[in-house]
Structure 1
Amino acid sequence: MTTKVYTKDEIVEKAKEIAHMIANTEEVEFFKKAEEQINDNQFVREKIASLKTLQKQAVNFQHLGKERALKTMETKIENIEKEIDELPVVQQFKQSQVDVNDLLQLVSNAIANTVTNEVIASTGGDLLKGETGSKVRNSVPGSCS
């Protein structure tokens, strides 16, 4: 039984198919809706605009060596960040980011684990030990290759 050998182009094409599938999951749809809700929220837009202004002022104060003014700006920045983070729409958005990242990590791990297991199995290795066939053969006392 011969195993088909794939080209990089074929693998990249399959990866694009998987990416398309991921882009059309419930997790990604929820992410897009959550992002849209944030962008449509006037309160959030105003807070983000204030935050950007304060951050610019903080950079200027830091550049000018005005430590006390910088500390005041940093406190104001932290307060606005906390205010934004406490909003349900922002919490939903952040959770949707986590969910999409978890899905991507799941796919990445599935690929890595499957490749490892296929290499071990195809070389007659030991899946339980995670050793390829050549390592198994070379670790047996008295065996010669």
Structure 2
Amino acid sequence: MEQTNAYTQKEILDKARELAAMIARTNEVDFFKRAELQIKNNERVQDLIDTLKQKQKQMVMFESINKPELVKKVEDEYSQLHEELDAIPIVTEFKQSQVDVNDLLQMVTNVITNTVSERIILDTGGNPLTGETGGGPEKKKSGGCCS
């Protein structure tokens, strides 16, 4: 097994904060922040969001008093308002920026996970192609599946 430096949890968390600060300064996050600000300052978008929230509350209320015909009516109104909101370009851009930031975070998470897993496999004498760690009891090499 290869000897590696042992890091403290504090050192790792400090590096994680450093990485988070780097991510916060990416183009993806910058675009997200600008799009969010535009949405917050867009009166039409805010009016639609407020109306959608009211419609959600109405649906819950009508469901609780067992009024399916009113639930259906409000659901239809909600869907129409949601389509109207989604048709506004800045909303589309904002949603895409959310996806872009989440994709970046997911990529970072995957790189960390895969790198740690591979390091464990290699450090235990395992096989990176099969993903199996080493160090366990020797498996008998036989021709059968169940011996």
TM-score by length of 1: 0.88
Alpha carbon RMSD of aligned pairs, Å? 1.8
Q: Which residue of 1 aligns with 2:36?
A: 35
Q: Which residue of 2 aligns with 1:122?
A: 123
Q: 1:123 to 1:46 in 2, by over 3 A?
A: same
Aligned pair 1:97/2:101, yes or no?
Answer: no
Q: Which residue of 1 aligns with 2:16?
A: 15
Q: 1:140 to 1:117 in 2, by over 3 A?
A: farther
Question: What 5-or-longer segments of structure 2 have no aligned partner?
Answer: 143-147
Tell which has more relative contact order, 1 or 2 (C-alpha 8 A, sep 6+).
2
2:4 match: secondary structure: coil
Q: Percent identity?
A: 48
Q: Which residue of 2 aligns with 1:60?
A: 61
2:135 match: secondary structure: helix
More helix by share: 1
Distance 1:83 1:8 in 2: 48
Q: Which residue of 1 aligns with 2:108?
A: 107
1:6 match: secondary structure: coil
Q: Which residue of 1 aligns with 2:87?
A: 86
Q: Deviations over 1:69-119 (max 9, x none)?
A: 111111001110111112111111111111111111100100011101111
Query: Shift in Å at residue 140 of structure 1?
Result: 5.6
Question: What 5-or-longer segments of structure 1 have no aligned partner?
Answer: none
Distance 1:126 1:58 in 2: 55
